[in-house]
Amino acid sequence: MYQDYAYLIVGLPILAFVLTIFLGWHLPKGGGFFTVLATFAGFILSFGIFREIYPNDEIVHQSMHWFANFNAGILIDPLAIVMLLMVTFVCTMIHTYALGYMEGDPGMARYFAEAGLFTAAMLGLVFSDNLLQLFIFWELVGLCSYLLIGFWYRKPSAASAAKKAFLVTRVGDVMFLAGIVLLYTNMVKLNLTLPDGAYLLQFQTIYDSLTLIPPDQLTWIAVLLFGGAVGKSGQFPLHVWLPDAMEGPTTVSAMIHAATMVTAGVYLVARMFPLFYAAPNALMVVAYVGAFTALFAATMGLVMFDIKRVLAYSTVSQLGYMMAGLGIGAAMGAFSVGVSMFHLIGHSFFKALLFLCAGSVIHAVGTNDLREMGGVLKHMKWTGLTMLAGSLTLAGFPYTTGFFSKDEIIVTAYEHGAMGFGWVPYIFAVVAALLTAIYTFRLWFLVFDGEARSDYHKHESPWIMLGPLVILAIFALFMGVGLNIVNVGGEGEDGGENPFYTYVGNNFDHFGVDFEELAVIGGHHVEHGAEVHEPPIIKYLPIIVGVGGILIAALFYSRWKRFDSGMVTSERDPLRHILLKRYYQNEIYTLWFAEKVIYGIALVSNMIDLKIIDGTVNKISAISVGFGGTLRKLQTGVIQNYLTAIVLGLAVLLILIELASLGVAI
Amino acid sequence: MIPLVLYVLLSSAMFTIGLYGLLTQRNGIKLMMCVEILLNSANINLVAFSAYLPNVNGQVFALFSIALAAAEAGVGFAILIVLYRLYGTIELDNINALRW
C-alpha cells in the first residue's frame, strides 16, 4: 500500500520547499514545520514500505519512459530502504533541532526551503533506478550544499567556502559524468535487445551487461565513478572542501556530514558495487584511498582547535572507513556492502548527534574555539551527556553502535590482508581507530571537563534542540546492540550475526548478480573453503585501541591529567608543525596549484580563446559585414533608379521579342 | 472618322512624356502630374479601342480608372502636404531619413 506512494518521499519535501520559499516569510519560524512534517512523513512512508518489503525480501520498482532510451524510475531495494529510513529519520531530527537553533535568523525561511530541497535531492538520489537520474539528483545535492554552506553569504569566508565546496566537488562530478558517458557508449556498443520496460542506464541493465563489457573498460568506468564519489564523500585528495564547509550553520554541517551529501559518494560505490567487483583493480583503489583517507584525516583531527573542524576531520576519516569497507569487498564480496553501509548508518546517527551537540555548545558559549571552553558540563548536562554518548560510539567503545560497525570493518580488513589482498587497509584502519578515540575524547574533555578557560555564557539549550539530541543518542548507543539482539540464535555462523549485514549484503541477489562470475572477470577469485580464522588478538584489537585511545585522551586532557601535550611534542617539532599546517594543503592547493598552475593554464586558455576562437569568429563576421556593406549600395532607396532599371529591362525585352519575331537567332 | 493609329500615337506620346517626367523629376507634385499623364494615356487607349470595337466595356473601365486616379491623387497630395509640413520641402531627394 505504502509503496504506491513512494514518489511522495521526494514529493513532500519538494512541496515543503515550494511552500516555505514562497510563504515562509509570513509564517512563524519561517514555515520550518513544513519541512519537518514533510521529512517526517517521508520517514513514515519509508517505514511503511520497509514493513511491506522486508518480510518477503521484495523490492519496489516503478519506472516510466522519459526520453530516447532513458527512463525515470523508483527503485527501493534493501540498500535503498536503509538509506531512505536513515536520511528521513536523521533529517527529521536535524530539522526539528533547527527550529530552535535557527530561531531569530532573518533568513529562516530560506534556510528551511533549502534544507527541504537538500533532503528531497538526497532522497531522490537514493531511490533512483538508473544512473542518469541519480546523477541529476547528485548535482541537485551539490547545488543545495553550495546554497547552504554559503547560507550566511554576506560573510566572505562563508561565500568562499561555498564556492570551494562547489568547485572541488565539481572536479569529482565531471569524472562521474565522464564515467556515465563511457559506460553508456560501452553499453550502446553491445547492441542489447532490451526487454520491454528496460532502459540502458537502469541498474538492472548495467548489472546484467557487466560480463559483456571489456574488463579494461570496466576499470576505467569504475575509477571515473569512484572519482565522483571521492569528490562527494571528501576522500583524499578532494577532501579539502569538507572542513571549510563548517562555515554554514551547524545544522547544515550536521546534514552534510551525516545524512545527506557525503554519504552519497559511499552510496554510489555501494550501488555500483557489482561493477567495481567486476573491474580489475578498481576495489583495490577504493580500499587504499579509503584507508589512507581514514588515517590522514584522523591525524589532522588530533591538533585542530575549532570544535567543528575536529568533527569535520573525523567525518572525513569515517568516510574513509566506509570506502575502505567497500574496497575490501575484493576479498569479502557483497557482504562488505552490508558492513560498510552499517557503518554509514551508524555514523549518520552519531555524527548528526555530535554536530548538533557542538551546535548546542556553540549556541550557548558563543565561540568555536576549544581553548576558550572547558567545564561546560556543569552548565549543559544534557548536551554534555548526549555528546558523551556520541563520542563513545565514535571512539568505538564496546557495545556501542560505532563499535560494532567499525570493528566489523577492521576485522574484514584483516581477512582482506590474510587472503593476500594487502595489509595496508588493515594497518591504516587500526591506527586510525586509535587516533579517532584520542581526538574524540580530546574534544570532549576540552569542552566539557576541567575549568572554564574564558568567560562564556552559561545556559542549557531549549528542549526543541535537546529532544533530537536525546533520541539520536539512544540510537547512537543502542542500535548496534539492538540489531544483534534481534537475531540472537538466528541463522548465520555466529548465531548472533547482525541481520543488517545479510539483508543489505544480499541486496544484489534481487538483480540476479552472479558474484562468482564477476570475481573471475575482476581477477580476485577466492577459493571456497579458504576461511580465515582470525586469532583472538585481532578480535580484541579494536576494543583495545578504542578504550586505549580514550584513556590516552583522559591522561592528557581531562581532570585526571597526568601528562602534558608538551611532553610528547614541542613547538619546534616538525611533525606537529605539519599537522597544524594541515600538511600544507592550503599552500599546495591554493597557493601553488590554484594560483600558479591553474592561473597559468587560465591565462593561456584566455589567450587562445581571445585570439584564435574569438578571432576566427570575428573575422568571419567582419567579412560578411564588409560584403553586405558593399552590396547595400545597390539598394539606393530612390524610386527613380528602380524605375529606370525596370524601363530599361522592359526595353531590352521588347527589342529581343521583336528580333525573335523577325527570325533572328539569338 | 479619325484613324485609330492617331489615338494610339497620342497615347504613346503621352505615356513616353509621363515616363520621362517620372524618371527625371524629383519634385513631388511634378511626379504626381506625371503619374496622372501616364494614367490618362492608358485611358485614351481604352476609350479609343472601345469606340473602334463596338464595345462599351473599355469606356466603363476608363471611368473606373478616372475615379481611381482621383482617389490616388487625393491620398498622394495629402502625403505631400504632410511631408511638406515635416520637412519644409517636397523635393524627394531631400527626404531620405530611412535611407542608409
Q: Is the peptide bond before A237 cis (omega within 30 degrees of 0)?
A: yes
Chain B CB contacts of A643 below 8 Å:
22-23
In a domain, B100, yes or no: no
**pLDDT at A244 (0 to 100):** 81
C-alpha distances (whole Å) from A242 to each of A129, A145, A171, A547 are 28, 11, 14, 28
In a shared domain, residues A503 and A625: no
Q: Residue A347's closest CA among A318, A309, A325, A310?
A: A318
In a shared domain, residues A602 and A465: no
Residue numbers of the domain that contains A657 = 636-666
In a shared domain, residues A601 and A499: no
**pLDDT at B80 (0 to 100):** 92
In a domain, B99, yes or no: no
Whether the CB-CB separation of A378 and A249 falls below 8 Å is answered with no
User: Cβ contact (<8 Å) for A632 and B100?
Assistant: yes
C-alpha distances (whole Å) from A304 to each of A233, A612, A646 are 21, 49, 90
How close, in Å, is residue A628 to chain B by CA atoms?
A: 12
SS3 readout for A364-416: HHCCCEHHHCCCHHHCCHHHHHHHHHHHHHHHCCCCCHHHHHHHHHHHHHHHH
In a domain, A35, yes or no: no
**Is ipTM over 0.85?**
no
In a shared domain, residues A361 and A408: yes
**pLDDT at B34 (0 to 100):** 93
In a shared domain, residues A385 and A299: yes
Instruction: Report the alpha-carbon distance of residue A248 to residue A111 in Å, rounded.
Output: 10
Confidence of residue B74 (pLDDT cuts 50, 70, 90): very high
How close, in Å, is residue B35 to chain A by CA atoms?
A: 13
Closest residue of B to A638, CA-based? Answer: B93
In a shared domain, residues A535 and A652: no
In a domain, A188, yes or no: no
Instruction: Report the alpha-carbon distance of residue A631 to residue A70 in Å, rounded.
Output: 50
When scoring B17, B20, B22, B30 by the number of chain A Cβ atoms within 10 A, the one with the most, hence best to mutate, is B22
Q: Give A489-514 as a DSSP string.
A: TSSSTTSS--HHHHHHHTGGGGGT--
In a shared domain, residues A521 and A603: no
**pLDDT at A657 (0 to 100):** 92
**pLDDT at A489 (0 to 100):** 45
In a domain, A13, yes or no: no
Nearest by CB to residue B22, choosing from A635, A636, A643, is: A643
Nearest by CB to residue A647, choosing from B19, B92, B100, is: B19
Q: Residue A126's closest CA among A75, A179, A53?
A: A75
pLDDT at B16 over 90: yes
**pLDDT at A621 (0 to 100):** 93
What residue ranges of chain A have pLDDT lower than 50? 488-496, 529
Residue numbers of the domain that contains B16 = 4-94
In a domain, A409, yes or no: yes
Whether the CB-CB separation of A34 and A20 falls below 8 Å is answered with yes
Residue with cell 511626379: B31
In a domain, A200, yes or no: no
Phi, psi of A459 (to 5 degrees): -160, 150
Mean pLDDT of chain A: 83
Q: What is the tens place of the pLDDT at every residue in A644-663?
A: 899 999 999 999 999 988 87
**pLDDT at A109 (0 to 100):** 86
C-alpha distances (whole Å) from A351 to each of A187, A359, A596 are 39, 12, 37
Side chain identity at A117, as an amino acid letter? L
Instruction: Report the alpha-carbon distance of residue A289 to residue A32 in Å, rounded.
Output: 39
Task: Note the pTM of the prediction, 2 decimals.
Answer: 0.76
pLDDT at B82 over 60: yes
Number of independent structural domains in chain B: 1
DSSP A5: G
Of A555, A580, A605, the position where a domain reaches its end is A580
Residue with cell 601528562: A563
Side chain identity at A189, as an amino acid letter? K
In a shared domain, residues A614 and A544: no
Residue with cell 586509535: A434
User: Cβ contact (<8 Å) for A644 and B100?
Assistant: no
Closest residue of B to A631, CA-based? Answer: B100
How close, in Å, is residue B56 to chain A by CA atoms?
A: 30
Chain A CB contacts of B19 below 8 Å:
647
Closest residue of B to A642, CA-based? Answer: B23
How close, in Å, is residue B99 to chain A by CA atoms?
A: 6
- Look up residue A58 and give its three cell numbers: 521484495
Determine if residue A30 is left, alpha or beta; phi over 0 gives left, psi from -120 to 50 gives alpha, anything else beta: left
Residues in CB range of B34: below 8 A, 6 or more apart: B17, B18, B19, B21, B22, B25
Q: Give A14-63 as a DSSP string.
A: HHHHHHHHHHGGGSGGGGHHHHHHHHHHHHHHHHHHHHHHTTTT--EEEE
**pLDDT at A526 (0 to 100):** 62
Instruction: Report the alpha-carbon distance of residue A9 to residue A123 in Å, rounded.
Output: 7
Side chain identity at A226, as an amino acid letter? F
Longest C-alpha distance within chain B, in Å?
Answer: 56
Number of independent structural domains in chain A: 3
- The secondary element (H helix, E strand) that includes residue A295 is helix A282-301
Whether the CB-CB separation of A518 and A211 falls below 8 Å is answered with yes
Chain B CB contacts of A640 below 8 Å:
22-24, 26
For the residues B83-90, what does the mean pLDDT come to? Answer: 89
Whether the CB-CB separation of A333 and A395 falls below 8 Å is answered with no
In a shared domain, residues A288 and A388: yes
Q: What is the tens place of the pLDDT at every residue in A122-178?
A: 999 988 888 888 999 999 998 988 888 888 888 888 888 888 888 888 888 999 999
SS3 readout for A176-235: HHHHHHHHHHHHHHCCCCCCCCCCCCEHHHHHHHCCCCCHHHHHHHHHHHHHHHHHHCCC
Determine if residue A67 is left, alpha or beta; phi over 0 gives left, psi from -120 to 50 gives alpha, anything else beta: beta
In a domain, A132, yes or no: no
In a shared domain, residues A565 and A652: no
Can you tell me whether residue B27 is helix, strand or coil?
strand
User: Cβ contact (<8 Å) for B22 and A632?
Assistant: no
C-alpha distances (whole Å) from B75 to each of A217, B78, B97 are 80, 5, 21
- Look up residue A485 and give its three cell numbers: 539482539
Listed by number, the residues of chain A in 624-663 with a beta carbon closer than 8 Å to a beta carbon of chain B are 632, 635-640, 643-644, 647
Side chain identity at B77, as an amino acid letter? F
In a shared domain, residues A530 and A658: no
In a shared domain, residues A328 and A370: yes
User: Cβ contact (<8 Å) for A644 and B23?
Assistant: yes
- Look up residue A316 and give its three cell numbers: 572525513
Q: Residue A288's closest CA among A314, A336, A327?
A: A327
**pLDDT at A534 (0 to 100):** 67
Chain A CB contacts of B96 below 8 Å:
637
Q: What is the tens place of the pLDDT at every residue in A20-76?
A: 888 877 877 777 888 888 999 999 988 888 888 887 788 888 888 887 778 888 888
Instruction: Report the alpha-carbon distance of residue A80 to residue A126 in Å, rounded.
Output: 6
Residue with cell 484613324: B3
Phi, psi of A60 (to 5 degrees): -105, 130
CATH number at residue B71: 1.10.287.3510
**pLDDT at A107 (0 to 100):** 82
User: Cβ contact (<8 Å) for A647 and B23?
Assistant: yes
User: Cβ contact (<8 Å) for A640 and B98?
Assistant: no
Whether the CB-CB separation of A444 and A307 falls below 8 Å is answered with no
